[in-house]
Structure 1
Amino acid sequence: MAHGSHEKVVRPVTKKNTARSPAVKAEPKGAMKIVRKLKELTRRELWTKVDPDHSVDWTDDRVWDKIKNEGCYHRADEMLVSCGTVTISQPDSLRPMVLLVFNKNIGIFQLPKGRKNFDEGYLAAALRETAEETGVAARSLRLRFGSRSTPPKNQSTQPRVIEYGKEDRDTGITEGLSNESIGASEWYYQCIIDPDPATGAWRHIYWYAAQPLGDTRRDESRMTDAEDRKKFTTYWFSETEAITRLKLEDEKFMVRITFAYLRNMSDEDWESNKKQEERENNEA
């Protein structure tokens, strides 16, 4: 289904979910393990800061040897930082659709992404690249998930009224409605970073959830590079269709985790998003 032309869907009417079960939380009574939702989408083991099996003695030289032997670092010109989106149309509907491009030069379906500009934030870069590669303008989509970003110490300084979650002191994770990065892609084996095949640089991709800003149809006036207009074709697919067509496993994962977060949203969450968007529109 190309160029944003998908059938109109009916928004669901659901019962309000008054019980909130966090995606990541520590067990009660000083337990050491973390209880995690969406276990089928976990990529690594996590533990609490008070887990005795993972306590850190900073006076032990073995700790510093481990950091020295396993740490990775690079010069700026050896890094390739990209940003992209999983852009969802009608995210609170019964049939949300995800935005893909078909790259004619290499013959694969992809999520929109690209390198950040100088003096540009990662989220801004992801939204700009989405518009330039697909012709669809996008804005960030707040979803409920856990993040290791920290809530502002003084929230009264924020220009808008944003409700952040409360950080769990034992896990260091804050769960709440957020437009933080939903995940990142990198490639490594025993700290030998697999380079970008075209340049040799270490490639790191930050992913964000997004939604269309207005029309879902391709507008080539947003595609500032003539090469992109020739190279990319714009498509909207269902979750299953997108995962079937995508070539790269990391991009399939980012689609899966975004749709999992969508299904975890309550009516109250969507109403909060609506109010936040209204505030942003009034300030624009």
Structure 2
Amino acid sequence: MPSRQSLHFSSQFVISCGTVTIDPTTKKVLLIFNRTSKQHLLPKGRKNTSETLESAAVRETFEETGIRCELLPHAFPHRAPLSPEAEKENGEAGEKPLGTEPIAVQQRNSIGVWKIIFWFIAKADSTIAKVEGTQEAYENYDTIWADANAAPRMMTRQGDKEIVTKAIETVLGVEKSEL
């Protein structure tokens, strides 16, 4: 059976990056509430030219929330091969080392433009005050630290709910049935 394919030239898509940012100490998840659309969302946005996916995810999280985060190494299953250096370090253990690979990629079609979103797991300290004035003029977001057990149910989009659930399970070791 032939594989499904699609072709989109650069004028037909945007690359976005975002995070599920978790404070493992307080078991809270960073969300934004869009006051205009009344939606709970994850922070994300478009990647700039020559910017890495990882840098875009961290930058967009900061810009939309005022919270500084860093990517969190995790053991989420992925299909990325190990680098030769990681293979040497890993030796005969057979387990993949912790990494910061994206945990999901999501596609949305909005007004004829494909949005391809790479989702990363990040960590931040929920007890530190946010930096004010980081949002773009058109962004009308509240920054929310939600309890991990409530965060998936708060999400407006089903895909975001699934991504948050998987991230919480990975970072906090909480099973889906416990959320």
**What is the TM-score of this pair, normalised by structure 2?**
0.85
Q: Return 5+ residue gaps in structure 1 as ranges.
A: 1-62, 157-161, 169-173, 188-194, 266-284
Q: Return 5+ residue gaps in structure 2 as ranges.
A: 175-179
1:118 equivalent to 2:49? Answer yes
Question: 1:78 is aligned with what amino acid?
Answer: Q
Change (3 A) 1:72 1:166: farther
Report SS of the residue matched to 1:149: coil
1:132 equivalent to 2:63? Answer yes
From 235, 242, 248, the equivalent of 2:157 is 248
Alignment of 1:1-284 (within 5 A): 66-67=2-3, 70-89=4-23, 91=24, 93=25, 95-155=26-86, 175-187=96-108, 195-196=109-110, 199-212=111-124, 216-221=128-133, 223=134, 225-228=136-139, 231-264=140-173
Contact 1:150 1:167 in 2 (8 A): no
Question: 1:99 is aligned with what amino acid?
Answer: L
Contact 1:82 1:113 in 2 (8 A): yes
Report SS of the residue matched to 2:11: helix
Contact 2:65 2:135 in 1 (8 A): no
Deviations 1:6-48 (A, max 9, x none): xxxxxxxxxxxxxxxxxxxxxxxxxxxxxxxxxxxxxxxxxxx
Change (3 A) 1:116 1:163: farther
Deviations 1:109-157 (A, max 9, x none): 100000100001111101000000000011111111221112212459x
After superposition, the CA RMSD in angstroms is 2.7
Contact 1:146 1:176 in 2 (8 A): no
Question: 1:259 is aligned with what amino acid?
Answer: I
Question: 2:136 is aligned with what amino acid?
Answer: D
Contact 2:86 2:97 in 1 (8 A): no
**What is the TM-score of this pair, normalised by structure 1?**
0.55
Q: Percent identity?
A: 29
The answer to which structure has the higher strand fraction is 2
Change (3 A) 1:85 1:155: same
The answer to which structure has the higher helix fraction is 1
Report SS of the residue matched to 2:128: coil
Contact 2:18 2:119 in 1 (8 A): yes
Change (3 A) 1:153 1:79: same
The separation in 2 between residues aligned to 1:177 and 1:111, in whole angstroms, is: 23
Which structure has the larger Rg over C-alpha atoms? Answer: 1
Alignment partner, residue 177 of structure 2: none
Contact 1:151 1:164 in 2 (8 A): no
Report SS of the residue matched to 2:118: strand
CA deviation after TM superposition for structure 1 residue 165, in Å: 8.5
The separation in 2 between residues aligned to 1:210 and 1:146, in whole angstroms, is: 16
CA deviation after TM superposition for structure 1 residue 215, in Å: 5.8
CA deviation after TM superposition for structure 1 residue 225, in Å: 2.0
Question: 1:257 is aligned with what amino acid?
Answer: K
Change (3 A) 1:167 1:205: farther
CA deviation after TM superposition for structure 1 residue 163, in Å: 5.6
Question: 2:164 is aligned with what amino acid?
Answer: V
Change (3 A) 1:144 1:166: farther
Report SS of the residue matched to 1:237: strand
